[in-house]
Every structure is written in structure tokens, then in C-alpha cells.
Structure 1
Amino acid sequence: MTTRRSFVKNAALAGASVYIVPRHVLGRGYVAPSDKLVIAGIGAGGKGGDDINQFYASGKAEIGFICDVDERQAVENRKKFPKALFYKDFREMLERSGKSIDAVSVGIPDHQHAVAAMAAMKMGKHVYVQKPLTHDIYEARMLTQAAHQYKVVTQMGNQGASGDGVRQLVDWYKAGIVGDIHTIYCFTDRPIWPQGIVRPATASPIPAGLDYDLWLGTAPDKPYFDGQLPFNWRGWWDYGTGALGDMACHIMAPAFAILGLGYPVSAECSVATPYVQNWGEGYFPDSCPIASHITLTFKNPDVTLHWMDGGIQPTRPTELLPNEVLGDGGNGAIFYGTKGNMMCATYGKNPSLLPTSRSHEVTVPQTVARVPGGDEGHYKAWVEAAIAGYGIAQAKALSSNFDIAGPLTESVLMGNLAIRSFGLRKKAASGDGFDYPGRHIKLLWDGASMKVTNFDEANEFVRRGYRGSWTL
């Protein structure tokens, strides 16, 4: 049995910078001296670095460990949290320091989300994972199930899900103001990084401080090229999930909150690719497209959801005045109902009935509790739920726990399944006409079985293979 004295002694032997006794090692009914959640941040720069700062700002968390494969990305937060132990490999961190960790924040490229989160969950660590939850559909399903198996408190990093705007949209809908919603348009001005390009043929020197093999992780063993990181990885299928993966968990989240959407039953898309004299040369299978329009169909309720990226936007609703802004200008969502329409900006912000004057004229009961601090409270809510422990009402009520985030992510990635299927060559022996890139096809989806039922080639993207010894 671990006692406080033996833990402190072992921690001191492991490293003098370990100074916080995690809550769980003292047993049920006891608290750490600081009564704060000890968090290990996997991803020290970019959004991952911002996340651990948000947790620290909650006043109820301590950053005990920092992990990043790129020392350059960790410089700032290593200075800010000098007592935190630093690791490059999250597997080593969990193995050597797991007993000193209460919870883990995963803020790294998409292709490593699932393996990092699952490793932490298997050790009973509460997890906060940046959006999209995973890189492929199978991973999302496995993490959703694992949250219950390992009894951990979970949250995905689409902070707008905790905002007041989403809850106002739900209140209007439940009050019957817009009737039955049947069509939704979600749109974004992303990508703001290169997409629709060929992968550089020439390798570049690996920067000092970067463990590129660790950065590749589950991804195929391909040479490093300048500009691949820390941001532009989003546009490459090996590592990222494109504009859809980056923004849809923010912009589609209100639709799922309002309607309780589950898995789509079909997906189809059209994409923009660079013009090349020979059409086949205009398809770059390593890179996400310049722009896309995806249509997802849901049942129970019957809803058609359109996703548009690359600056493509839907026709303006007739009730929107000529000089009024659609969404926030570049991003947003429109909800068409049988009795009326409504819209919002990114993260569900600035919700409005249409015409917008109705927003100030209609008063409805508040049916959904607000999260203190709104979208900024998204972080603190997870910290408080993790401190309280798995199974409490607060943990289940988190705005983007994996029961919510998992199906949302699967639907987002179903859109990418359609995009990637758009360019596949159907085997000539099939004789059904899908014999060249760019064919517009409709994928029929069996959500329970995670299987495309009418185009088997698409199923290769449902669950990707991992490099080397990496496993989920």
C-alpha cells in the first residue's frame, strides 16, 4: 500500500522537481496538500501549450509534467513551470512517473491523439484531448468505449461546446421557435495552411531538438521536409485531418447539441483540386483538398448537414439583411426549420434567430444549465470533474465528454472518408464505373459496424495501420 511518506520518498528519488503529491495516491477520502489536480501535458507548444496554461489558470491544477518531442516547442512552458519534469516520449513519462500523475492533456498532431490518450486511460488517468478526438473513425469508437472501461473523466478540446451560445440555440429549439430542423449548413474559411499540393520529393535536415522518429509515431516512415511542422502538418493525411478536422468539431458541435445526432447514414462530397492538363495529375493523395463540400445524411431525426470549407459558403438566408454578417464572416452555421431559421458563428457564438431582430423579441425558458465562464470554463469544468472523480453527475454533464465527442468526431471523419474516397480508383474488374479519380459517389454507412456498405475500398480509411510497434 502506498503511503504519503513512501510516495514522497520515492518521488524525491525519481527527481527533485517532483513536488506535488497527486490526489489519487493518498487513497479515497484523502486529499493532496495542494488539493489540486496534477496534470501531465503531452504537447508543450501551440494549442497543447495553451491548454496547460488554461488548466493552470483555473486555480485548481498544477502542471507536474511536460512532454514534447520537439524541445523548441517546450522552451516557454518549461520556463513557466520550472518544477515540472520534462520528457520527450509520453510512453516513458507514463511508465516512469505515472504514479505521480492524476490527469493528462493531449495537445499534439491528430495522428498521435488516440495512442497517447489510450495509454493514459489504461492507467486510470483522466484525459483532455484536443479536437478532433482522433485521426480515424475506429480510434474514436475505441476511446469512447475506453472512457467507460477505465472509468475516467473525459473532455475534448472544442471549448465552444461549453459556451452560452450553444445553449441559447438549444433553448430556442426546445421551445419550438424554429420547428423541426431539417437542413444545416456549416462553413469555414479554413484551410489557412497549404493543401492540395504534392509532397516535396527532397528531404530536409531534421532540426536540432526535434526527435523526428517520435514525432512520426504511428504515421508512415517518410522523410522530413521544411515546413512540415509545427503547424502545416494539418494539410497532410498522414498526420492531420484537414480543414474539416480542424474546424468541424467547433462548427458542427451546436448541431449535435441541438438535435442529438448520432452516426450519419450516408456521406458524399465534391472537392476542389488544382487544375492540371492531365486530370489524373491533379489528384494529390497525400494532401487534403483546397476546398470541399460534404453532405451528411442523418436519421432519427431526418437531417441533411452540409459542410463547406476553403471559403465556400451557402446562399445567404432570405431573412438576413444585405449588410448583416453571415456567421462571423468566414465561419458559422445556419439551421433551417419548419417554422423558422437560426444561425451562429464559430464555437456557437453570437446565436441569432432570423431575421436577427427576433433574437431580442423572443423570450424562452432556460432549459440547459450554463457552464460558469462559458467556453473558457470548458477547461475548469474538466479539472473540477476530474478532482471529484469518475461517475459523478458533473463528470457526465461535461459538454464534450467522449460520449458526445466520440460520435461527433466519427461524423466529422466520415466526411473525410468521403473526401478520400473521391479520388480512389475502383478495381476495373468490378465493372461499376468507378474507374477514375474524381468520381462523385455516395457512401452508405453502417455506423454500428463502422463499415461502408457500397464501396469497400473506402473502408481502408476507417482504421489505418500503425507504423512499427505502435499499438492502440
Structure 2
Amino acid sequence: MKKVNRRSFQKTAVAASTAVPLFSIGKPGPSANSRLNVAVIGTGNVAWRAFEGTQNENLVAICDVDSRMFAQHAKRFSAMEKAATFADFRVMLDKLGGEIDMVCISTPDHTHFPATLGAMERGIHTFTQKPLTHNVWQARTLKKAKAHYKVLTNMGNQGHTSNGIRQLKEWYDLGIFGQITEVHSYRDGPKWNGNYFQRPETLPPATDAVPATLDWDLWQGPTGPAPFNKLYHPKKWRGFNRYGGGMFGDWFCHIADAPVWLLDLYEPVCIEAESVEGGNEWMVADGCRVRFDFERRADKAPCTVYWYNGDPKRFSPALPEDWGWGSLPAAGTFFHGTKNNGFTDERSNNPRLSSRDAAIAFKNAGYPAETIPRIEGGPVLELVNAIKGGPEPGSNFDYAAPFTEIMLLGILAVNHGGRIEWDSRNMRITNRPELNQYLKEPVRKGWEYGEELWKS
């Protein structure tokens, strides 16, 4: 197996990414034909994207707290058979950190942060699934870490690499929509008793036997000891506040990606849970409608963004009658502009104007020329190419961290109800100071990361 010099890659890639603007066409650096040494943390379920995106590289290590998960994708990706295996990513990074060029993290939400920062502080380029973190302090810290450790990063909101989101931004930049002043993003769910969400029979959840293949202590990571329940693992954890963020946490980073990117929506001044159904200390809400208010950003008008998830009969935007659509699409985002209104689906793949006549006239006139370079493959491959000298990934942590923060503030409003007035500059809630404790969660000993980045 060919050994790749990680420091030489890092120097070449970071120099290239800072010299080339976002989404510009980058020329391959001197290491473009070399193969990266890749490690994967979390090998089940959505980790197939990590294996697929790095299948032409050297897979040197895989890490999972449940040994049975190693087999889930092994038949499809034979390189897994030759990789070193670990249960604890901290041990893997201590042993092989100097050999690894890139790490892909596909663990439950509550362990994204320690795994990500553990890699970054060793100078390893990092891909992390969405949502980037489980609390606001973690998101801020990863943005600091990107600047401090000077590594390349990307978050796994796949729609950010799509042609559709680029086309939508080209339309917006040309003034097709005028000023966008209101946005509605929505999706149904959670669907309890489905593949990803299930309520326990009792609260607190009953204590079940830990599977022989699972290291339950490692699975809990920074959250600390708690009894095992069979719903937590392997994939129904996201319905529990301790480990996930429900449909809000699962889909906001996909569906709201387009408005956040188009409109530079990074610092809401007010977040209000206008309607919430269900939810408690243990479980995520059944449904919600949350309003985010954004002030003027440079030449962009003030904007209000609404997020909905839950039963579509109670938690979905009203479809304007004059659009003539008949029925509301299953999920997506509506844009209300001063010139035209628009819509795009849940991963921003298929943008369109709301008015049929306007859409036909727009198409007949010829869509504008492409000005934003398109991306081949998804966000994992995008990071691979960036490390080899291409442009910096679009959902790098300078973008992904504040984007994730918006979502986390929305979840905080849902969990505690009412209105939150947000001082982004000082990272504090001004009208309800008792909620500031939830911006940074307690961490058990041995899982502390990032504190030193706040000392300078």
C-alpha cells in the first residue's frame, strides 16, 4: 500500500483552497493522482456514502462500537476486509493518526463533535455527517478548530453538491426572485414505529440487555452512563433528545440548505416555537412550527424563515391558491420574492418558479448560463478532491457550523417553548437567560474536547 505524506497533502490542499474562491474551478495539485489514507468512524447505515466516496483511496482503518456493524457494507466494499478495526476512535487516532489523511464520521449525532475534533486536532481532513453537532457551543468550537488546525472539512448535507442548488442560486443572483422576504421549509414526520423513530413503552425507557457485540459505554461517548434500551441502537436514537434531534435535526440541514446559502442566513435575531405538539424531557416533539427572524444582510432584505415538521394536516405551510398547484409537494422549501416565487424539493435538486406562466416564459427565454462550477459525486468525494488540490468544499465548517447553529436554536425553542432572543455575537439568549445552560451540554471525564480553543 502506498504511503501518502499527510503533511504534504495538507500544505498543498490548504494553499489551493485559500487561493481559489468557493465553487471555482480548481486545478489538481501535485498529489492529485496519489491515494489518500482514509479512516471511517461509524460503519453502519449511512456510512455507505463514506465508503463509496473514498473507494478509490486507501481504506486503512474502520471504527465502530458494535462489531456486527462492520459486516453491513463489507460485501459491497471489499476494502473493509483489509482495514484495521477499532471500537474506540480515540485509540484509533492515537495509534494511526500520523498515517491518516482523511476521516469520515457517520456516528449518532451526540458523538459527532468529539470524533470530529479528535481528528482535526491531529491535522486530519474531516468529513462529518449532518447535523454537524449536538449543541451550539460545539458548532462554534468546530468553526474555531477549522481556522486553528487549518484542515479541510465538509458536512454531509448531500444537496449542497447538487446541480439544482447551484441553478437556484444562479437564478437568485440574476434577480429572478427579486428580494426574498419569506421562506417556508417543511417535511412530515417523525413517523413513530417506523425505521428511525419508535417510542419506548415506558419513560424512563426500560433497561434492556446490552448486545454482546456492542460496547455500550463507548456508544454513549460524552453523554455519560445511562441504562441501555434496545431502541437506542442501531438507528432509532434520533427520537431521544439525549442523542438526536428528531426530524428537525435530521432534515433541516437538507431542506433549509438552499435558503441559508442563497440568502446568507447565518444569524437569526429571534427564534420562536409558534406551535409544538408532543415531546418531553426524553423524546423529541411530534410536530412543530418554528419562526426564525433575520435582519438585513448587506443588500439582502430582512427575511423570515418558517420550519415545519409533523403531521402535514397540522404542520405544513399553506399553499397559495393563485399558484394553481392543486396539492402541496411532500417536502421542500417555498421562497416568496418581490418579483417571483419559487420552490425546491427536500435536497434542492429541482428548483422551479411557482407560477406556471412565469416558468414557461423563463424556460422559453433560455435558462441563464452556468456561473457556479458543478460538483462530481457527493460531499465525501468533494472533500477527497479538495485534499488533492481542488476547491474547498461548499459545506465546509465555516458554512456548516453557523448553519447547524440555526437548527440547534430552533430545537432549543421547541424543547422549551416560546420565544428566544438571540445575541449571536456574544453567544447568549438575552430574554431567557436560564436557557443559556443548554447551549453547552455537560461532558463526562475523558471526553473533553475544544476547551483550549476558547482560551486565546
The TM-score range, normalised by the shorter chain, is: 0.7 to 0.9
C-alpha displacement at 1:34, in angstroms? 7.1
Q: Using the alignment, how far apart are the partners of 1:234 and 1:442 within structure 2?
A: 24
2:41, 2:63 within 8 Å by CA — same for their partners in 1? yes
Equivalent position SS for 1:370: coil
- Which residue of structure 1 aligns with residue 436 of structure 2? 459
Equivalent position SS for 1:333: strand
Q: Which runs of 5+ in 2 are unaligned?
A: 13-28, 450-456
Equivalent AA in structure 2 for residue 408 of structure 1? F
- Which residue of structure 2 aligns with residue 381 of structure 1? 382
Q: Provide, for residues 180-230 of structure 1, a one-character-per-residue CA deviation record: whole Å limited to 9, x for no partner.
A: 100000001132343777534420000111000000011142101122111
Identical-pair percentage: 32
- Which residue of structure 2 aligns with residue 141 of structure 1? 140
Q: Provide, for residues 71-127 of structure 1, a one-character-per-residue CA deviation record: whole Å limited to 9, x for no partner.
A: 111113456221111101000000011111001111100011011000100000000
1:132, 1:245 within 8 Å by CA — same for their partners in 2? yes
Q: Using the alignment, how far apart are the partners of 2:438 and 2:222 within structure 1?
A: 14
Of 253, 259, 266 in structure 2, the residue corresponding to residue 255 of structure 1 is 259
Q: Using the alignment, how far apart are the partners of 2:246 and 2:171 within structure 1?
A: 32
Q: Which runs of 5+ in 1 are unaligned?
A: 1-18, 275-282, 423-440
Q: Provide, for residues 312-343 of structure 1, a one-character-per-residue CA deviation record: whole Å limited to 9, x for no partner.
A: 210113343244x53xx321000001112000
- Which residue of structure 1 aligns with residue 307 of structure 2? 307
C-alpha displacement at 1:172, in angstroms? 1.6
- Which residue of structure 1 aligns with residue 374 of structure 2? 371
- Which residue of structure 1 aligns with residue 50 of structure 2? 52
Equivalent AA in structure 2 for residue 56 of structure 1? T
1:182, 1:303 within 8 Å by CA — same for their partners in 2? yes
Q: Report 1:316-395 matches (<5 A).
A: 316-323=319-326, 326=328, 329-362=329-362, 363-366=366-369, 368-373=371-376, 376-388=377-389, 394-395=391-392
Q: Compared with structure 1, are the counterparts of its residues 32 and 255 closer, same or farther at alpha carbon in structure 2 (3 Å cutoff)? A: closer
1:69, 1:89 within 8 Å by CA — same for their partners in 2? yes
Q: Using the alignment, how far apart are the partners of 1:126 and 1:84 within structure 2?
A: 19
Segment of structure 1 superposing worse, 157-166 or 196-205: 196-205
Q: Report 1:215-230 matches (<5 A).
A: 215-230=219-234
Equivalent AA in structure 2 for residue 116 of structure 1? A
- Which residue of structure 2 aligns with residue 205 of structure 1? 209
Equivalent position SS for 2:281: coil
C-alpha displacement at 1:411, in angstroms? 0.5
- Which residue of structure 2 aligns with residue 417 of structure 1? 412
Equivalent AA in structure 2 for residue 112 of structure 1? T
Equivalent position SS for 1:199: coil
C-alpha displacement at 1:139, in angstroms? 0.4
C-alpha displacement at 1:21, in angstroms? 1.1
- Which residue of structure 2 aligns with residue 63 of structure 1? 59
C-alpha displacement at 1:370, in angstroms? 3.2
Greater CA radius of gyration, 1 or 2?
Answer: 1
- Which residue of structure 1 aligns with residue 15 of structure 2? none
Q: Report 1:60-139 matches (<5 A).
A: 61-78=57-74, 80=78, 81-139=80-138
Equivalent position SS for 1:306: strand
Q: Compared with structure 1, are the counterparts of its residues 361 and 62 closer, same or farther at alpha carbon in structure 2 (3 Å cutoff)? A: farther
Segment of structure 1 superposing worse, 226-235 or 151-160: 226-235
2:274, 2:291 within 8 Å by CA — same for their partners in 1? no
1:180, 1:338 within 8 Å by CA — same for their partners in 2? yes
Q: Report 1:151-162 matches (<5 A).
A: 151-162=150-161
Equivalent AA in structure 2 for residue 370 of structure 1? P
Q: Provide, for residues 2-39 of structure 1, a one-character-per-residue CA deviation record: whole Å limited to 9, x for no partner.
A: xxxxxxxxxxxxxxxxx341232678789889711111
Q: Using the alignment, how far apart are the partners of 2:128 and 2:395 within structure 1?
A: 10
Q: Compared with structure 1, are the counterparts of its residues 215 and 443 closer, same or farther at alpha carbon in structure 2 (3 Å cutoff)? A: same
Equivalent position SS for 2:321: coil
Equivalent position SS for 1:230: helix
Q: TM-score, normalised by structure 2?
A: 0.86
2:155, 2:379 within 8 Å by CA — same for their partners in 1? no
Q: Compared with structure 1, are the counterparts of its residues 110 and 356 closer, same or farther at alpha carbon in structure 2 (3 Å cutoff)? A: farther
Q: Using the alignment, how far apart are the partners of 1:140 and 1:160 within structure 2?
A: 20
Equivalent AA in structure 1 for residue 231 of structure 2? G
- Which residue of structure 2 aligns with residue 278 of structure 1? none
C-alpha displacement at 1:462, in angstroms? 0.7
Of 247, 269, 272 in structure 2, the residue corresponding to residue 268 of structure 1 is 272
Q: Using the alignment, how far apart are the partners of 1:186 and 1:33 within structure 2?
A: 39
Q: Using the alignment, how far apart are the partners of 1:405 and 1:26 within structure 2?
A: 26
Q: TM-score, normalised by structure 1?
A: 0.83
Q: Compared with structure 1, are the counterparts of its residues 145 and 194 closer, same or farther at alpha carbon in structure 2 (3 Å cutoff)? A: same
Q: Using the alignment, how far apart are the partners of 1:24 and 1:302 within structure 2?
A: 44
1:244, 1:412 within 8 Å by CA — same for their partners in 2? yes
Q: Using the alignment, how far apart are the partners of 2:403 and 2:31 within structure 1?
A: 36
C-alpha displacement at 1:357, in angstroms? 4.5
1:220, 1:238 within 8 Å by CA — same for their partners in 2? no
Segment of structure 1 superposing worse, 353-362 or 398-407: 353-362
Q: Using the alignment, how far apart are the partners of 2:213 and 2:199 within structure 1?
A: 29
- Which residue of structure 2 aligns with residue 408 of structure 1? 403
Equivalent AA in structure 2 for residue 108 of structure 1? T
Segment of structure 1 superposing worse, 356-365 or 148-157: 356-365
Q: Using the alignment, how far apart are the partners of 2:7 and 2:441 within structure 1?
A: 37
1:171, 1:364 within 8 Å by CA — same for their partners in 2? no
C-alpha displacement at 1:54, in angstroms? 2.2
Q: Using the alignment, how far apart are the partners of 1:351 and 1:158 within structure 2?
A: 17
Equivalent position SS for 1:101: coil
- Which residue of structure 1 aligns with residue 288 of structure 2? 292
Q: Compared with structure 1, are the counterparts of its residues 313 and 65 closer, same or farther at alpha carbon in structure 2 (3 Å cutoff)? A: same
- Which residue of structure 1 aligns with residue 163 of structure 2? 164
